[in-house]
Amino acid sequence: MHEEQKLTRRIRVLTAIFMLGLIISGATAIPLVAEVDCLVKLTGASSFTSETHASPTSAWAVWLIKVQNALHSVAEKHPFLFYGTDWLAFGHFAIALAFVGAIRDPVRNQWLFTFGMMACGLVVAHAFVFGAVRGIPVWWRLIDCSFGLVGIIPIWLCRKWSRELERRQRG
């Protein structure tokens, strides 16, 4: 297999993985109540019911129960607010769809890799700024940041390889 074909294949595989991550991340924004209920059940977080007696090791459980209670309240009283997370999911799906161009022609559409890297970097800034504004615990914001930090790796590699592929094609 020629080097150009190997590079193209690597780019396509990593781009597809990145797209799959966006799709899965988006899809998880839709069934929030069921997901959090399942997470509470799986982790046994409901056994930590008192915020006043919470130890540092149970802070995650207290937060999870707080989120669960809020989601149930919204679902009961204001279910239309979940329309916002439906649109969040749509945004993930639309961004993933844009990367089809990078799979089809990674050299001509290498700007998508730069866009993806910028978006991944903005995840970190967004999580810290708006997480603080909304009262999200720092440890949860770090989890959110991990999506940008992990996502930037395959996109950076794709950008690097698409530039190398361009150099090889120009000869």
**64 located within any domain:** no
- The total of structural domains in the chain comes to 1
Q: What CA–CA distance (Å, rounded) separates 103 from 122?
A: 23
Tokens of 107: 């050299």
Looking at residue 32, its pLDDT comes to 96
Looking at residue 48, its pLDDT comes to 72
Could you report the per-residue pLDDT of 94-128, keeping only the tens digit for each? Answer: 999 999 999 999 999 999 999 999 999 999 999 99
pLDDT in tens, the chain (171 residues): 599 999 999 999 999 999 999 999 999 999 999 999 999 999 988 887 555 555 656 888 989 999 999 999 999 999 999 999 999 999 999 999 999 999 999 999 999 999 999 999 999 999 999 999 999 999 999 999 999 999 999 999 999 999 999 999 997
**60 located within any domain:** no
Tokens of 68: 């669960």
**55 located within any domain:** no
Alpha-carbon torsion angle 118, 119, 122, 126, nearest 10: 170
Q: What CA–CA distance (Å, rounded) separates 65 from 71?
A: 10
pTM of the full structure: 0.88
Q: What CA–CA distance (Å, rounded) separates 115 from 111?
A: 6
**131 located within any domain:** yes
CA distances from 127 to 59, 118, 122, 144 (A): 19, 14, 8, 6
Enclosing domain of residue 131: 3-31+81-170
**159 located within any domain:** yes
Tokens of 32: 């929030």
Using the structure block, give the residue that is written with the tokens 């150009």. 4
Candidates 152, 88, 143, 85; CA nearest to 116 is: 152
Looking at residue 55, its pLDDT comes to 60
**138 located within any domain:** yes
Candidates 162, 109, 155, 137; CA nearest to 17 is: 155
